[in-house]
Amino acid sequence: MATLARATREELEQAYADLAANADFRWLRMPESGLSLVRGRAGGTGSLFNLGEVTMTRCALKMADGTTGFAFILGRDERRAELAAVFDAVLQRTDDKAAQALQLVAEMGRSQAERREFKSRRAASTKVNFFAMTRGMSPE
């Protein structure tokens, strides 16, 4: 689900077109946007603090075959949340469409990892190492 939540709308639209799944569903919860509190830790391991709020969209649907799909994404893109929920429902099935959907989601995960690696390398190339030297005599 994390891969679907981080996928761009274009990635989801392309994967949905490649999947050619029957998207006959009814809404259990229409896409709706709201705010969610984000918490952080000082230094990654320290005490928790409230960092702020982010906009998110959630939805739930039930496919014609009875499987349910849920989606929680950052931002206010209702179509993106709908597509993520459809993929979530299809991935719960045991037929060929589920296997095909799993391959498409794995491809999305690989492309996301490549983008993260590229951003990380680009940021690392700008890293500056600072060090301080003291001048003078030692206290001995």
126 DSSP 8-state letter:
T
**Alpha-carbon distance 36 to 39, whole Å?**
10
Residue 13 CA to chain centroid, in angstroms? 15
Q: Would residue 10 count as lying in a domain? A: yes
Where helices occur in 20-77 by DSSP H, the ranges are none
pLDDT for res 128: 76
* Predicted confidence (pLDDT) per residue in 67-112, tens digit: 999 999 999 999 999 999 999 999 999 889 999 999 999 999 999 9
Does the residue 117 lie in any domain? no
Contact criterion met (CB below 8 Å) for 90 and 15: no
- What's the pLDDT band for 45 if we cut at 50, 70, 90? confident
User: Is 122 among the domain residues?
Assistant: no
Residue 129 falls inside a structural domain: no
Band of the pLDDT at 44, cuts 50, 70, 90?
confident
Q: How many CA atoms lie within 13 A of 101 on its CB side?
A: 25
Specify if 53 maps to a domain.
Answer: no
Q: Is the pTM above the cut of 0.85? A: no
Q: Is residue 76 part of a domain?
A: yes
Q: Is residue 140 part of a domain?
A: no
- Number of structural domains (the chain) is 1
